[in-house]
Amino acid sequence: SQQGEEDPQALSIQEGENATMNCSYKTSINNLQWYRQNSGRGLVHLILIRSNEREKHSGRLRVTLDTSKKSSSLLITASRAADTASYFCATGLYSGGGADGLTFGKGTHLIIQP
């Protein structure tokens, strides 16, 4: 079953606007990660936030985590056409060792209109 569920499934905005995507999950986690996928191929790791962190920044990306609500958001500021991609959240249950497979959601497809 899916652990992370992204919302919305699709998002279309104008270049320069901010894009916000949300992720909800069901069980306790060790960390939550966001990935980008272009053209249905390999995923690129964007950012990892641990369960004891509330907010993290990386360039134009801002990620928040609310463990009480079991939700996370990814904000992309000043969007560019090159940001057009699918964005996935993935939850990690363990800090290390054992079965460490991340569980991915179905993704949000983001389209940036020029």
Partner 1 sequence: GAGVSQSPSNKVTEKGKDVELRCDPISGHTALYWYRQRLGQGLEFLIYFQGNSAPDKSGLPSDRFSAERTGESVSTLTIQRTQQEDSAVYLCASSFPGDRGYGYTFGSGTRLTVV
CB of 8 to partner 1, least distance (A): 15
CB of 71 to partner 1, least distance (A): 17
17 vs 55 by CB, closer to partner 1: 55
Residue numbers at the binding site for partner 1 (CB under 8 A): 2, 30-31, 33, 35, 40-45, 48, 50, 88, 90, 92, 94-97, 99-107
17 vs 100 by CB, closer to partner 1: 100
19 vs 49 by CB, closer to partner 1: 49
> 8: number of CA atoms within 13 Å, CB side?
9
Compute and round to an integer the Cα radius of gyration of the chain: 14
3-state helix, strand and coil shares in percent for the chain, rounded to the nearest 5: 5, 55, 45
Other C-beta atoms lying within 10 Å of the C-beta of residue 54: 10
